[in-house]
Every structure is written in structure tokens, then in C-alpha cells.
Chain A
Amino acid sequence: MSSREDILARVRAHKPALARPLPQVPFFDPPPGTDLPATFRESFVRMGGTLPDCGQDDPLDVVRRIMSTAPVTCSRVPEIRGNRSLSDDTPPASLADIDIGVVRASFGVAETGSVCLTEEDLLVNTLGYLPQHLIVLLDPARIVSNLHRAYQRPEWRSMHYAVLQSGPSATADIEGVLVHGAQGVRSLRLFFVPGHDG
């Protein structure tokens, strides 16, 4: 017998013969009228992300100004141009010298301040990790209330890769002192920018 058959046979022989029905999972929705973008903002900042204040300026102009200070930039967003091009056959490790990457998130989660970045949003998955800094655009109309609603989204059934990113790379492995940029991006900045299909 193969290991597969051995393992499955042992599982069948040993699994407890107890009735343990699968429960219904409620959505635990917040009260109607909850301001999702405001909740998202609060959670996002708590996880270490920043939401730069654009004042009266167009957020895209603010992003362009930030980009202009960096030597190597790469954008997956049509409105923003970087100086490093990206195609679907770009080797993943070659993104290591990018200073700032820009992507548009598929959606956000108010409860946790997470943005969902899929393989389509990133084109090359390492765009989410190898740049020193990451800028994310999010359509405020695409914020769901909590994780139960988030997992109702279609991305989980269509994408091979998707991440809920909540703030920058962080560690507190040495004496509990929190440090950003442990391995992945050192900062995560977010701008609310309505999408064309939003």
C-alpha cells in the first residue's frame, strides 16, 4: 500500500465515531450605519500602516511626489508611472532593488485594517515583499466590514495567490521590541482612490 492509502486507512480506523455536525457560521455583522472607511483607517494605523494626509491635493499627485524622491520605482497602477517596468515574465528576485512599489488592492477589511493583494494586483508576487516600501491604492467603496464578509469575496476561488496584508513587515522577536521591515516592506502607505469600476 502507498503511504497515502496507509494514512487514510489509519485515519478511517481511528477517527472517533462521534456525531459532530458542522456548525453554521454567522456573519457577525456590525450595526447598520457603521462607517467602514473610518473603521478601516483606525485599524490600518493600529497595524502600523500610514495614511498620508493629502489635504486638498489629488492623492495621485501626492503618490507621484513621493515616487519622485526614489531612485527605483515600480507601479502596477495605470495612473502612476514607475521607472522600472514589470511584465508577467519578470523574474521574481529581480525586484529586490526597487525602492517603492505601487499596487491597487482588490478590497479592504475594516475589522483588521487589511488590504487584499492578489496575484493579479501584484502581477509578480514579490512586488508585495521585495520593494523597500509599498504604496497601496484602495477604493473606499471596496471595504468589507469583517473577515466573515471578506471570505465571501470571489478572489479566494479564482486566484492562486492572495494575501491579506495588514501594515508593514514587523517583528518583535528580540525582547519584544517591535521593528518594522523585518524581512518584507519597511512601510505601507495607503491612499483612498476610487477605482474606475468602483
Chain B
Amino acid sequence: MSGAQGSDLNRNPPHPGRLDHAEGASIPLHSRVREAQPRGAVINGDQPIDQAGAAERFIAAPEHERMHDARLWDLRQKRDRQMHGIAEWEDLRRLASEIKEHALTHLDHYLEQFETNARANGIHVHWAQDADEHNAIILSLLRDHGVKRLIKSKSMLTEECGFRDFMAESGVEVVETDLGERIQQLDDEAPSHVVVPAVHKLRSDVAEVFARTLGTDPDDDDVHYLTEQQREKTRPLILDAQAGLTGANFVVAETGTFVVCTNEGNADLSANTPPLQIASIGIEKVIPRLEDLPVFVRLLSRSALGSPITQYTSHFRGPRRGGELHVVLVDNGRSERLGMEQFWTSLKCIRCGACMNTCPVFRRSGGLSYGATYAGPIGLIIDPTFNRHRYSSLPFSSTLNGSCTNVCPVRINIHEQIAGWRRVLAETHELPLMKKVIMREAGHLLSHPALYRTAIATADSALKHLPRFMVYNRLNTWGHGREVPAPPRETFHQWYAANRATKKGKPA
């Protein structure tokens, strides 16, 4: 790369002040002190994920919690500014929801239409029922082409399929080309957010990971330095790879096109540089017509990061000259979810992450606390469809405040589905023992008015007099991370008995 060396052109221009577009922050964030990165939920076979426990560890790292909260809330605010800048915003949300619901209720038709058109354009189309079949199809393609290294852009579907681990065991080197995903790969962690995978990490954490894995200066945590180091270290791997893999954001049945949205241009690098191009695509991504596409492109990045569009919105309709293009259409539980009356509309999700950015639980607990591929509000309704027992605690990691539903660009009734899952889990005996006991006792109390009144009066009076250690302990989850509200002087019933009962008939 002779031309690239020794030229000022190959360095970024001096920083013109802080940049503020696309996914850039509009408020300067900088962690002040070094603090070890809290790790996510411990996965223990099929045991229910202890989201609350992992969230507590995250909260116990105040710098991480503060930065995570501020960064995501900033994205939420940028999203609001974009929304207010477009008069037809609510029309777009309605259209997006209607198009997706139409596509999903005619999914077989549009999948076949996509397949026919893609094949006519020279794309090889494969179908995979589950993660294993997806991984096996790609491995056989790689073996046929003698691929030793695959470059890959961010794809939640491949996370769902455990693709990286599978390839490592199969002797194929996989290199992530999205910076955030690369950081997570080098640190042997899953992405913590569907759009910003390393958002839970501070710059000091990244400096530590890069020093350990890329040999950078452990004491230099300048973001520009770290990003540049990663670019320099990854580029030779990209140029040398024999295959490139991307996901897809949208699939257009009418033209046989799939669309990939990135800010780094890394999907294009992955797709356009090596001779073999592969795309892993969930079957729910299909939309009918080209004219439907702008509705989603206009909503996606505005909802995700508060930018009008991603820096790169790339359209693949056939193999490039001399190249070979394979698409793997993956079910992995989606066709089953389509049949779940309460939950099928979760398939409308376009993975913008807006629900995560607005969720108070997600912002303060970090995505890895969910111990699942999909975190945050959307994860609470998708994850149990993959494994009802392992993810049985997740639908309780929500305040049900409805903010997720309000920001969802495709109008999924997320908080109602979360409540729906709580009911389903109770009916199918997947409630944690403690919740079951509490619910049974509460049910008894609430159905006996006299008992209830006595209990409330006793509890209130007890709260006034109990020492703090009795109130703020492991058993009282309401005392975790907040002050229990001061008990009233008397209950309503005590007040009513004292005032109204004796003054009947007098004006209030």
C-alpha cells in the first residue's frame, strides 16, 4: 500500500471542533475515573436469567451506569428532534405498520416472489429452518470456495445463530468489520445493543481491550486514536478475506433486492471486496414493493440514532461482475411466532433500538444484563419465543411505562405484549417461586377487605418505626436503589371513618 504511506491525505483533517451528525453525541460525554467494566448476566444452562442481579452489578459501577444512561437518552432526544422535523411522521409510522402487517399476513407469497426475482438476477437462494442449518449452509459454501477468512458486518441474526463460535470451531476465521461489533468480538462478549453493540463500554474499557488484543498503547484512550488503530489493523484482514457476510435490513420482493444500512460502510466493504458474498436474512424482513422501502428508510435511522439516514444505505439486487452472491433465508422460530396470536406483530420489528434507548430499565442495567441476543423492551417479547424457561424472568424487567410503544416506528404494542407475556408465563407456571408466593399472598389479601385494611395500617405504622436495615434488605425489592415512600399518617379508611362517617349530609 505504497500510496497510502507518508501522505497527509491519509490522515483525518485536524479536528474542526466536535462533530455532531449521524450517531455522534450532541452532549460531550467523558468518563472521569477508571472503573472496571461490569460484566453481563451469567448464563447457567437453561436456568432463568437473573436480569435483576446483573443489573445490580451494572448499577454498582456508577461511571458506566451514568454514561450509558446519558448516551442512550441523548439518542432518544435526537430521535425526538428528527420526529418533530417531519410533518408526516405519524403517517409514516402508520404506513410502516400497515405494510409490515400486510407482508406478514402474506409472507409465503412475498418470500416466493423475492426468491423468483432474486434467482432471475443471478442470486443463489438457500433456506434454513434454524441456526444449525444456517451455519451448516454457510460452512459448506465456505468449504466449497476454500475460504479461510470471512469478513462480516453486524447482523443480529448471526448472533442468534451463534455463528462466530460455530465458525471458530470449524476453523474459519471471522473478522467483524463494524467497530462496535469488533470491540465486542475482541473482548469475547455479545453485542449489548442492536445498533450500538459496545455502548456499555467506556473508552477506558476499549483501550484495555485493544491493548490486550491489538497491541495498542494501554494508556491512550483517545477515541480517534483507538478508532484509527482499529482501521489500520482491520484493513489488511479485509483485503485478504475470501468471503464477506452481511445481514439485511429490508428485502424487496418486487425487485429481488436486499438492503443493508450502515454508518461505517463496512457492509459494503464486506460485500464488495472478496469474491464470495453471502447474506443471512430473517424471513420477516421482506416487504412487498420498492415504493414501500422509503417509508422504512426514512424511519430507521431517525428512530435509531436521530440521523436522517444512515451514511450508507446499500442495495444488492444481484451478484457483481465476476462475483458470486448467496442469500440464506432463515426461519429460526419466526414461522412459529407468526402463529402466536398475541405476539405475531413483534415480527414487524426493524431493529432500530429506539425502545432500548428510551427504556429506563435498559438504560440503567445495560444490554448484557438480559443474557439474550435481543435486549431491552423488544427482547422481552422476542426472547421468550426462543426459550420460554430461560427467558421467563425477562418480561418482568419493565416498568410497563409504555414509552417503548410510543417510540416504536412500526407501532408494535410492546408494553402490552410484555404484560401479555407475564400472563402467559403465570399460566404456564414459569413464574419464579418468589413471585408465585407473593402473588398468591397478595391475591388472598386483596380478596379480603378487612384483612387488607388491617395489613395496610399495620405496614404503614411499621414502616414509620422499623429501623432502616429491616426495610432496606434483600427481601424488599422496592427498597433496592430507591427510598421507600414515607407512609401516610393515616390510611384513607381511617380518615374516612374519622371525618365522613360522622358528617354525613354536610357539604364537603
Contacts and interface: CB of A to CB of B under 8 A. Distances in A.
B177 A183 contact: yes
B220 interface: no
B235 A174 contact: no
A186 B7 contact: no
Contacts of B319: 160
A163 B338 contact: no
Contacts of B315: 156, 159, 161-164
A178 B22 contact: yes
A21 B202 CA distance: 47
Given A6-B129, A111-B308, A171 B338 contact: no
16 contacts: A8-B112, A14-B338, A20-B104, A46-B21, A70-B7, A88-B321, A114-B313, A166-B311, A169-B265, A169-B311, A176-B23, A178-B25, A179-B227, A184-B265, A184-B268, A187-B12
Tell me which of A4, A6, A13, A182 has the highest count of chain B C-beta atoms within 10 A of its own C-beta. Answer: A182
Interface residues of B, number: 114
Q: Which 4 A-B pairs have the closest CB atoms?
A: A178-B24, A184-B265, A14-B339, A72-B3
A150 interface: yes
A89 to B, nearest CB: 7
Given A128-B268, A160-B320, A99 B3 contact: yes
Interface of B: 1-4, 7, 9-10, 12-13, 18-25, 29-31, 67, 71, 74, 88, 91, 94-95, 98-99, 101-102, 104-108, 111-112, 121-122, 127-129, 133, 177-180, 183, 196-199, 201-203, 206, 223-224, 226-228, 231, 234-235, 238-240, 255, 257, 263-266, 268-269, 272-274, 283, 288-295, 297-298, 307-322, 329, 331, 335-336, 338-339, 341, 344
A174 B179 contact: yes
B339 A13 contact: yes
A151 B30 CA distance: 41
Interface in A136-191: 146-148, 150-152, 156-157, 159-187
Interface size of A as a range: 35 or more
B23 to A, nearest CB: 4
A70 B292 contact: no
Nearest to B296: A147
Contacts of A43: 308
A31 B482 CA distance: 52
A178 B21 contact: yes
A12 B108 CA distance: 6
Contacts of A92: 272-274
A187 B31 CA distance: 29
Q: Is the interface of A mostly helix, strand, loop or mixed?
A: loop
A175 B180 CA distance: 10
Interface in A64-92: 69-72, 88-89, 92
Contacts of A25: 95, 99, 291-292, 294-295
Contact of A20 (B101, B265, B292): B101
Interface string A90-124: 00110011111000000000011110000100000
A60 B143 CA distance: 48
Interface string A39-78: 0000100111000000000000000000001111000000
Given A99-B9, A151-B291, A171-B23, A47 B112 contact: no
Given A11-B111, A182-B179, 5 more contacts: A15-B107, A28-B91, A151-B290, A169-B311, A183-B238
A13 B293 CA distance: 27
B203 A174 contact: yes
A99 B295 CA distance: 36
Contacts of B239: 93, 96
A129 interface: yes
Contacts of A126: 269, 272-273
A23 to B, nearest CB: 5
Contacts, number: 330
B294 A178 contact: no
A184 B319 CA distance: 21
A7 B198 CA distance: 34
A34 interface: no
Contact of A178 (B23, B206, B228): B23
B268 A163 contact: yes
Residue from A17, A26, A165 having most chain B Cβ neighbours under 10 A: A165
A10 B128 CA distance: 13
A181 B274 CA distance: 20
Contact of A22 (B2, B288, B331): B288
A3 B129 contact: yes
A171 B179 contact: yes
Nearest to B180: A173
Contacts of A12: 108
Contacts of A32: none
Contacts of A169: 263-266, 311-312
A10 B24 contact: no
Contacts of B25: 172, 175-178
A41 to B, nearest CB: 14
B294 A148 contact: yes
Contacts of B223: 174-175, 177, 179
Given A20-B102, A112-B308, A183-B177, A129 B272 contact: yes
